[in-house]
Amino acid sequence: MTTAWAVVEYGDIRINSVGDTRRAALVNWLVAEKRVLALAHASDQLIEQMWSEHQGDAICTTVKIEVTKR
C-alpha cells in the first residue's frame, strides 16, 4: 500500500488524476477530466488558478493505493 494524491468528485476517486504529488494530480485531472491544456512548464500559480476555475465541488487529497495481483 502507498499514499498518492488524487482528485475526488462526488465521493469517487478520479483514477485518471492519481499522481505522486498534489501538482501531478491537479494536472492529470485538468487534462483528463476537464480537457484543459496544462503544460509541464506551467507555473504552480497557473496550475492553482486553473484548478480553482474548474474545481467545482472536487477536492484534491491524499489517498491510499493498494495493488493486488490477479
Residue 19: CB atoms within 10 A of its CB come to: 18
What would the pLDDT profile of 4-59 be if each residue is shown by its tens digit? 999 999 999 999 999 999 999 999 999 999 999 888 789 999 999 999 999 999 99
pTM above threshold 0.95: no
What would the pLDDT profile of 37-51 be if each residue is shown by its tens digit? 888 789 999 999 999
Per-residue 3-state assignment (H helix, E strand, C coil) for the chain: CEEEEEEEECCEECHHHCECCHHHHHHHHHHHCCCCCCCCCCCHHHHHHHHHHHCCCCEEEEEEECCCCC
CB 30 within 8 A of CB 22: no
